Amino acid sequence: MKRAKIIGVGAYAPRRVLTNPELEKMVATSDEWIVQRTGIRERRIADPSEATSDLALRAAQQALERAGVEPGEIDLIVVGTTTGDMAFPTTANIIQHRLGCRNAGSTDVYAACSGSIYSLSIGSQYIQTGKYRTVLCIGAECLSRITDYTDRGTCLLLADAAGAAVLRASDDESGIIDTDLYSDGRYWELLYQPAGGSRHPATHETVDKRMHYAKMKGNEVFKVAVRMFQDCAERILQRNGLTPDDLTLFIPHQANLRIIEAAVKRLKMSMDKVFVNVDRYGNTGAASVYVAMEEAWATKRMSAGDLVLLAAFGGGFTWGAALIRW
């Protein structure tokens, strides 16, 4: 069975930069406190005229151009997002139309910040089985739209961006070696958006109670997230007869620098092998790993033959990992 190989990557971040000093004027915090607790110095915020599909479109176009692939060659589009343009149609469906992928199926994956790994894993299966020749995987978010800028626990973290990867079958040992997907619904109340679905549809009451914004229990999320990072990284490496020492680069979900550092310490890895850009982008949800992967490629932090590990966790909780021979 041939591996699915990433043949092109793309990313897009909105122009507007929201800095820590600006947040000092919104909530009781300081630049020093934010950096110490999260590692974030700035984050990108979409223009009011931009929706998630707009960001995704820019990232996808760049990935396709780099891959040398025409929109008509795409067989399937898989988009990881929590903040789709609307309840339906899917954001993937909108992107399929706007890109001009007339021969493509399309679907969204709703796995919060793990949407990056979930979409990549799902897309890779269709390549490995030979069902499809070319798959476009995307992670995109406008998390600022569900961010309460009176809530210090979330507004310091969440941001907007999109990333994309084009997959085709590999003709050598390069490509996606393995993926793992996990979930545990016991932790749903640690990170969720109360209203907007069938449980609590939009009413004056849900709006007045600010129920359409993301809610998070930060300390509890920290503990569970670190454990999930360690668990999925160790499992996928052990199953493939590898250790953290064998890795060239580890690209984790860019949620919070403290979470990343704690997980890396548990894995007994050096931070020199870890790609971090959370300081400049904040937590961009399902886009996070794709955006980091694109930047790692663009800055030559990884090259052909390198062994790369991706990992993410998100509300639900969901988590997962992907092991790649670049």
Residues taking part in catalysis:
113, 253, 283
Identify the sign of the CA torsion 259, 262, 264, 266. negative
Any long-range contacts for 18-23 (C-beta under 8 Å, 24+ apart)? 18/42, 18/43, 18/44, 18/45, 18/159, 20/156, 23/155, 23/156
Which H or E run contains 205?
Answer: helix 204-208
For residues 49 and 142, give the distance between their C-alpha atoms in angstroms, rounded to a whole number: 12
What are 320's two structure tokens? 């997962």
For residues 23 and 20, give the distance between their C-alpha atoms in angstroms, rounded to a whole number: 5
Closest CA to 115 of 276, 287, 302: 287
DSSP annotation of 219: H
Count Cβ atoms within 10 A of the Cβ of residue 203 and give its class: 0-12 exposed, 13-18 middle, 19 or more buried: exposed
Count Cβ atoms within 10 A of the Cβ of residue 125 and give its class: 0-12 exposed, 13-18 middle, 19 or more buried: middle
Which H or E run contains 105?
Answer: strand 105-109
For residues 209 and 151, give the distance between their C-alpha atoms in angstroms, rounded to a whole number: 13
Which positions ≥6 away from 124 have C-beta within 8 Å?
A: 3, 4, 135, 167, 176, 179, 322
